[in-house]
Structure 1
Amino acid sequence: MESMMTLRASPSTAAPLHRLPSRRAAVSVRASAGASEPDLSVRVNGLKMPNPFVIGSGPPGTNYTVMKRAFDEGWGAVIAKTVSLDAEKVINVTPRYARLRADPNGATKSPIIGWQNIELISDRPLETMLNEFKQLKKEYPDRILIGSIMEEYNKAAWHELIERVEESGVDALEINFSCPHGMPERKMGAAVGQDCDLLEEVCGWINEKATVPVWAKMTPNITDITQPARVSLKSGCEGVSAINTIMSVMGINLKTLRPEPCVEGYSTPGGYSARAVHPIALAKVMQIARMMKEEFSDGQSLSAIGGVETGNAAAEFILLGADTVQVCTGVMMHGYGLVKKLCAELQDFMRQHNFSSVEDFRGSSLPYFTTHTDLVHRQQEAIKQRKAIRKGLASDKDWTGDGFIKETESMVSN
């Protein structure tokens, strides 16, 4: 990759509540693609990335070693695993993953289409994670590192966590309002994202303290995902991420009669991800994108998540209006080198349609969603037009020499 430099963009004049002047500071990373190659670079809330592919918060961003690997492989940005002030409250169990295979008999060679986890946020001390953030920013000063944070229902705790994480040098914050399991009794994760009144209050606390761009991560475990997305953006967040995992029970072992993943004979519902959730994620992202297009115009961003293992899957999200595409489970199954395949496949798609940049096609498919009633009307009109064409010429004066044969055919009965 070519040498990179840091730029600063001036904040928008129509700033959300409590945004500080440095909120939209821009970090620039220049793409190295040749002039004839489609340009994958994107600019999101002032952050310039060499490509739209972002490591999603989870195991692929759990420590310095793996995040460094992600940067070395060429990921556009890395979102670290979610941290909180007191890691001692976090106790993970093993096994904590379960897989769903395409073959109904669960053959070991059958493709994995679904993945479930009952994993909690980072169990490493906050100070350890912050030191690793600092080290990463020291070694990769122009690469985009995003801190994922989650706290209890406590304004002072949120403010302390934001201050400490920002001091480590992260370029942005993603707020975990969406973890479907783990400590909901403390008003953490999806317990906040599913309660718009609570979400509005907590977003207010966050945005009066944060000085870097803030993304609110949405839960799909809600009837109308546009409601919390709207609240987050109106409360000052620069962007939203969607979707987090879907609450699920992966299955029952028909030999032992125990649920999976099985821990000492027992289990608990967890978060579902991988290819099987992609259609659901597309629908949720489409709904958020339409709402944002209709109601917001201040450069708010959308980061799409859900079952991305190919460049074509990423292209679908971008066609719906996503600025970036996050991958977590895909990395766990295919490794960090997956980004090279994603970039190559996305560029292939762009060449097929003569797109020179991601912005050329971002949101292009969004206008083609409508209501069922409108579909009925459109089809009725199309049938009328086809029938009119089959009736042929209205009068003899419409005959032409050049189109004589087609004009004749238009009036022949099958």
Structure 2
Amino acid sequence: MADLSINFAGIKAPNPFWLASAPPTDKAYNVVRAFEAGWGGVVWKTLGEDPAPVNVSSRYSAHYGKNREVIGFNNIELITDRSLELNLQEITQVKKDWPDRAMIVSLMFPCEEESWKRVLPLVEATGADGIELNFGCPHGMPERGMGAAVGQVPEYVEMITRWCKKYCSLPVIVKLTPNITDVRIPARAALAGGADAVSLINTINSITSIDLDQMVARPIVGTQSTHGGYCGSAVKPIALNMVAEIARDPATQGLPISGIGGIGNWRDAAEFMALGAGSVQVCTAAMLHGFRIVKEMSDGLSRWMDEKGYERISDFSGKAVTNTTDWKYLDMNYQVIAEIDQDKCIRCGRCYIACEDTSHQSISQLIGAEGVRRYEVKAEECVGCNLCQITCPVEQCITMVPQATGKSYMNWTQDPRNPRAVT
């Protein structure tokens, strides 16, 4: 049986599944229910200075797929609206009652050293296992110079991280904003400031939809709205890319990463881990489906690890990083072409339409005497783009088959067709 326990930047947990700092971790009641369900840790909802912020109503909106499946989730909720004292009391008690679970406390304070100096000892006194610096919240507290207002300025990231390492002995995790051109830059700044780890991604600036009757974006507050933080399954590709960028950057290589963004099942978690994440944080999936999803996540990951022969998460964490590179280093001589399994084909014609209208006209539509359609790939025309495979509704009906070209590896920097090729 696979061992799911982790030691992430010195923080131990029975499994890598943590609840992210968000509404589900705003109070002891929720966190205890999460621990009872089997979560390995939580990041307590972001604490700030008193007086606590005031939230509005309503706060959430969504981007839907078919059958009202929530693809993306948007929120304009701020950090905790409960007092600092009450939160610290509850954190202390929960950690005392659940000593084996990871308790991380998310923090957001102004860019004033005295504020951090005053509060950090209070947080450490709770018995928490670590702190997470919220440098990513995209929509709240700018008047106090916090959230993404900090995360977008590498000098601030490094400065505050240094303060935390100076006034606190707990592991420091820096949560990065995706609302930036190059996520590697703040990650490097966090490391320069002494960060023990980074977590990413925080939410993305977004407006999910417009109420065309009232002519106002959602969520609606009276007659107005504003941009919020976007999360959920839709942001997973963006999150995976940013995790990979940090994991393969020579300047931050080896820096522990807690992966966040669209994780809803064990496979999502495994993908983040394959790109270097040592723990994963979940929010939207728990809000949509409840805390019990962690059972399926843990069981699924454990079964997959057993199948692959991985005894612990560290056995496969980061294994996909070395296979992730810049476009210019890809093999220009590698070639695949599409192949349609006629036994599985349902003759819907989606592959043909997609290829004929928008791609390379490399699929033939053949109509028999009885009007029966058949689709065949024109091997000499196929460029291996795999659009047909993506549009096909039948799994494994269309496969991309590698071709023997007789040519050795050659990347774009070596290609004679490149006017700047290295010869």
Would you call these one fold, judging by a TM-score over 0.5?
Answer: yes
Question: Which residue in 1 is equivalent to 2:135?
Answer: 177
SS at match of 2:86: helix
**2:11 paired with 1:47:** yes
1:236 aligned onto 2:194: yes
After TM superposition, the structure 1 = structure 2 runs for residues 167-316 of structure 1, keeping only pairs within 5 Å, are 167-291=125-249, 294-296=250-252, 300-316=255-271
| Alpha-carbon offset, residue 222 of structure 1 | 0.2
* Partner residue in 1 for 2:404: 386
Q: Where do 5+ consecutive residues of structure 1 fail to align?
A: 1-36, 104-108, 390-414
Superimposed CA distance per residue, residues 5-48 of structure 1 (whole angstroms, 9 cap, x where no aligned partner): xxxxxxxxxxxxxxxxxxxxxxxxxxxxxxxx111111112222
Secondary structure of the residue aligned to 1:174 is strand
Q: How far did 1:296 drift?
A: 4.8
Alignment partner of 1:83 is 2:42: no
| Residue 378 of structure 1: how far off its partner (Å) | 5.2
Aligned to 1:72: 36
- Which amino acid in structure 2 is aligned with residue 295 of structure 1? A
The answer (yes or no) to whether the contact 2:13–2:100 under 8 Å persists in 1 is no
Structure 2: tracts of 5 or more residues without a match: 336-382, 384-402, 408-423
Counterpart CA distance in 1 for 2:325 and 2:268 is 22
Q: TM-score w.r.t. structure 1 length?
A: 0.80
- In the TM superposition, residue 348 of structure 1 has moved relative to its aligned partner by 2.7
2:418 maps to what in 1? none
- Structure 1 CA distance for aligned equivalents of residues 115 and 332 of structure 2: 54
Matched, 1:371 2:326: yes
Tell me the TM-score normalized by structure 2.
0.78
SS of the residue aligned with 1:98? strand
Counterpart residue number, 2:65: 102
What is the distance in 2 between the residues matched to 1:132 and 1:157?
21
Alpha-carbon shift at residue 376 of structure 1 (Å)? 4.4
What is the DSSP-based 3-state SS (H/G/I as helix, E as strand, rest coil) of the residue aligned with 2:237? helix
In 1, the alpha carbon distance for the partners of 2:333 and 2:283 equals 40
Deviations 1:386-410 (A, max 9, x none): 3449xxxxxxxxxxxxxxxxxxxxx
Q: Find the partner of 2:280 among 325, 331, 344.
A: 325
Instruction: Identify if the C-alpha distance between structure 1 residues 73 and 146 changes in structure 2 by more than 3 Å, giving closer, same or farther.
Output: same
Q: 1:87 & 1:325 partners in 2: Cα distance?
A: 31
Residue number in structure 1 paired with 2:368:
none
Question: Which aligned pairs between 1:26-175 and structure 2 lie closer than 5 A?
Answer: 37-88=1-52, 90-103=53-66, 109-175=67-133
Q: Is the 8 A contact 2:58 2:221 kept in 1?
A: yes
The structure carrying a bigger helix percent of its residues is 1
RMSD between superposed Cα atoms in Å: 1.9
User: Quick one: distance in 1 between partners of 2:146 and 2:174?
Assistant: 13
Structure number with greater CO (CA < 8 Å, separation at least 6) is 1
By how many angstroms is 1:142 displaced?
2.7
The structure 1 residue matched to 2:302, chosen from 347, 351, 358, is: 347
Size of the aligned set, in residue pairs, is: 343
SS in 1 for 2:133: strand
Aligned partners of 2:209 and 2:217 also within 8 Å: yes
Q: Secondary structure in 2 aligned to 1:287?
A: helix
Q: Aligned-pair distance for 1:133?
A: 0.8
Distance 2:113 2:217 in 1: 38
Q: Counterparts of 1:64 and 1:111 in 2: how far apart (Å)?
A: 30
CA distance in 2, matches of 1:276, 1:42: 27
Q: Deviations over 1:315-336 (max 9, x none)?
A: 1000001000000111111111
C-alpha contact (below 8 Å) 1:85/1:126 kept by paired residues? yes
Any conservation in 2 of the 1:214–1:239 contact (CA below 8 Å)?
yes
Secondary structure at the residue paired with 2:7? strand
Contact 1:54–1:75 (CA under 8 A) maintained in structure 2: yes
Q: For residue 200 of structure 1, what is the amino acid of its counterpart? A: E
Three-state SS of the structure 2 residue aligned to 1:268 is coil
- Corresponding residue for residue 290 of structure 2: 335
Evaluate the alpha carbon distance shift between residue 116 and residue 388 of structure 1 in structure 2; reply closer, same or farther with a 3 A threshold.
closer
